[in-house]
Homo-oligomer: A and B are copies of this chain.
Amino acid sequence: MASQKSSSATTPQATRAPTAKEPKRKRGIARVAKLLDAGAAVFAEQGYRAATMTEIAARAEAPIGSLYQFFPNKDVLADALVARYAEHVEAALDRIRAQVADLDGSQLADRLLDVLVAHAAERSLALSLLDARWEQPGVRPGVLRESLRKRITEILTLWRPQLPEEQAEVMSVVLFQAMKSLVQLHEEKRYPGKAEAIAHWRGWVQRYLADA
């Protein structure tokens, strides 16, 4: 007993980790998009734990069963969100890489800083998704950070080929942190000197790369 169902106990099958189901009909495609948007909003606002599946479904104007049809559990939804966000950001970085030869230091700094800050709608999600405290080995956010840093390292190496690999790596950590920090500066509610501080931060990062 003890769950006559979980044959997994008996048969240690692959028990493939559940994944998001691809919608097949167009109705489903629209709905999945809406669910992802709702998920992004709620995760961004409340954080992973505080976000409830019920609220996400409600905000997507979808019944709870529908949410579970596509995302069999909360983790899968979070992963899908990370994946969707990752696509945007990785694409943006790839675009920078393609043009890196034509950029000087402060231009490159600007372009990099824009990657995370550009879409206001996603800024808050970024904070949630790139949060260092998620660390559960193998879980998405950690993987995403790794991947983004690697891309930044590549960009730096392409930009200044004589830069030693190791130093590029260190710089990518610093730059990535600076990028996240700028998002934090943006996202914090409102404080004296906000606008100037943001400008200041940009200038600082530009100088960092110009000096490199």
Contacts and interface: CB of A to CB of B under 8 A. Distances in A.
Contacts of A139: 1-2
B177 A201 contact: yes
29 contacts: A1-B50, A1-B75, A1-B78, A1-B141, A2-B78, A2-B139, A3-B136, A4-B47, A4-B136, A9-B136, A9-B137, A10-B137, A47-B47, A47-B133, A124-B133, A128-B133, A132-B187, A145-B188, A145-B191, A149-B191, A166-B193, A169-B193, A170-B193, A170-B200, A173-B200, A174-B200, A178-B181, A180-B181, A181-B181
Report copies per complex. Answer: 4
Interface in A130-162: 132-137, 139-142, 145-146, 149
A26 B201 CA distance: 48
